[in-house]
């Protein structure tokens, strides 16, 4: 793509994403949090829900409910804390199928008001009662590049395609696994294909393409701070990138890289959200790869189609990186993008965007970015559609 086209995309993407983000406020009954009395919630829970979910929230025994589908355990913090109120409200209002669960979970939309359902939910929340676990409301939509602060059980496949110049395709599979209330382990396996630099002397052909494994990374994240009331979460991650890639083919740095970084997430009014990440890339062998500082910012907003339907999140991401040598300039990129939930359970999501270099555009390619995300704790890939 030539420079003019690229500038065209850049200019066109601002108003499109901008309009989406600043459109009228979505019908967000979900995140309002009226003052509710827990005793009303308890009374209602006991009359409407406990026959199946049990007075202790762990699920009534099978012989009493008359079906053998396992009931959720609301006292299990690992499960209950991560489910945002909006999802549970959708299920209580429209019944299990609203989120791809069984119709054995009845709809209460006719029998109970929103206020009553919210009071029940806040009572259900008290079954876990341990505030060490960051609530699901702080699990903000994942952008294409910036690392989230929320600890996750997730598998993500991502793809980056150079759309101009020396063409390359990079893929990455990321596996994330939570442990304890606030920690997460992470494994990243990159692989890709790149066109050999044949300097325009040959016709393009498949033989000019090389495939290979990249640098595998392992990391540990910890959410050091969160506040459900202010909608804030902050975490720190240490990652080690191993030189498993073939440097000769261009698939690795050829040296171990230590990557410490911090991530921050903030819920904003009207379904807006802000996220940021900042850190360093510190290679063991600085002859092979330079030390670098990076920082990334994301502003986005979520929209729900209908009352409890699909969720759309347009986001603007700004990326900055600077080699830590004197005289180096900051490299800036911009990534307008759109995330969407694909299934009813909303645990399968996709995001697509364009990474546009704002500096040194002649040396760095515009890239098309995409990911497919599976929040595997919420069910199998083919469940809940």
The residues binding ligand HEC (CB under 6 A) are 48-49, 51-53, 69, 71-72, 83, 88, 91-92, 96, 101-102, 104-106, 108, 120
SS3 115: helix
Q: How far apart are CA 189 and CA 174, in angstroms?
A: 6
Q: Tokens at residue 180, please? A: 């304890």
Minimum CB separation of residue 103 from ligand HEC in Å reads: 8
Are 110 and 116 contacting, i.e. CB atoms less than 8 angstroms apart? no
Of 250 and 384, nearer to ligand HEC (C-beta) is: 384
Minimum CB separation of residue 98 from ligand HEC in Å reads: 10
Q: Tokens at residue 167, please? A: 């063409």
21: nearest Cα among 301, 337, 318, 311: 301
**Ramachandran assignment for 270, one of left (phi > 0), alpha (psi -120 to 50 degrees), beta (any other):** left
Of 83 and 186, nearer to ligand HEC (C-beta) is: 83
Q: How far apart are CA 372 and CA 173, in angstroms?
A: 10
In DSSP terms, 210 is beta-bridged to 194
Minimum CB separation of residue 311 from ligand HEC in Å reads: 16
Of 23 and 69, nearer to ligand HEC (C-beta) is: 69
31: nearest Cα among 264, 220, 229, 234: 229
* 146 contacts: CB under 8 Å, gap ≥ 6: 263, 275, 276, 277, 296, 297, 298, 317, 319
Minimum CB separation of residue 308 from ligand HEC in Å reads: 12
Tell me the pairing of strands 272-283 and 257-267: antiparallel
Of 119 and 275, nearer to ligand HEC (C-beta) is: 119
Q: Report angle CA 359, 255, 263 to the nearest 5 degrees.
A: 55
Minimum CB separation of residue 101 from ligand HEC in Å reads: 3
For tokens 């699909």, name the residue.
310
Neighbours of 32 (CB within 10 A): 9
First-to-last alpha carbon distance for the chain, in angstroms, is: 37
Q: How far apart are CA 180 and CA 79, in angstroms?
A: 12
**Following CA atoms 297, 303, 304, 310 in sequence, which dihedral angle do they give, to the nearest 10 degrees?**
-60
Minimum CB separation of residue 345 from ligand HEC in Å reads: 9
Of 281 and 378, nearer to ligand HEC (C-beta) is: 378
Minimum CB separation of residue 47 from ligand HEC in Å reads: 9
Of 105 and 223, nearer to ligand HEC (C-beta) is: 105
Of 71 and 160, nearer to ligand HEC (C-beta) is: 71
Of 122 and 331, nearer to ligand HEC (C-beta) is: 122
Minimum CB separation of residue 235 from ligand HEC in Å reads: 24
């Amino acid at each position: 793509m030539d420079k003019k086209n690229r500038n065209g995309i850049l200019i066109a993407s601002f108003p499109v994403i901008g309009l989406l983000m600043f459109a009228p406020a979505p019908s967000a009954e979900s995140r309002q949090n009226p003052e509710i009395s827990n005793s009303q919630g308890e009374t209602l829970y006991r009359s409407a829900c406990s026959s199946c979910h049990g007075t202790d929230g762990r699920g009534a025994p099978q012989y009493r409910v008359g079906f053998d589908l396992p009931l959720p355990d609301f006292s299990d913090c690992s499960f209950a804390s991560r489910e945002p109120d909006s999802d549970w409200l959708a299920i209580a209002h429209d019944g299990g199928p609203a989120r791809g669960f069984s119709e054995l979970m009845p709809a209460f939309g006719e029998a109970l008001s929103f206020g009553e359902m919210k009071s029940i939910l806040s009572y259900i929340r008290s079954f876990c009662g341990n505030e060490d676990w960051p609530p699901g409301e702080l699990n903000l939509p994942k952008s294409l590049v910036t690392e989230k602060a929320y600890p996750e059980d997730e598998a993500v496949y991502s793809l980056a395609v150079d759309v101009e110049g020396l063409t390359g395709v990079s893929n990455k599979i990321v596996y994330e696994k939570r442990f304890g209330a606030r920690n997460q382990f992470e494994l990243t396996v990159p692989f890709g294909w790149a066109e050999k630099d044949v300097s325009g002397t040959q016709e393009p052909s498949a033989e000019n393409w090389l495939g290979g494994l990249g640098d595998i990374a392992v990391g540990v994240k910890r959410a050091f701070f969160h506040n459900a009331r202010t909608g804030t979460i902050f975490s720190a991650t240490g990652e080690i990138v191993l030189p498993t890639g073939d440097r000769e083919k261009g698939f690795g740095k050829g040296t171990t890289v230590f990557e410490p970084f911090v991530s921050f997430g903030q819920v904003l009014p009207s379904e807006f959200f802000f996220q940021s990440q900042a850190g360093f890339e510190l290679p063991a062998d600085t002859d092979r790869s330079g030390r670098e500082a990076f920082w990334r910012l994301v502003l986005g907003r979520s929209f729900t189609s209908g009352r409890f339907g699909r969720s759309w999140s347009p986001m603007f991401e700004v990326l900055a990186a600077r080699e830590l040598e004197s005289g180096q300039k900051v490299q800036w990129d911009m990534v307008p993008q759109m995330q969407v939930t694909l299934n009813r359970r909303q645990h399968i999501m996709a995001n697509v965007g364009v990474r546009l270099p704002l500096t040194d555009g002649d040396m760095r390619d515009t890239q098309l970015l995409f990911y497919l995300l599976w929040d595997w704790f919420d069910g199998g890939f083919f469940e809940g559609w």
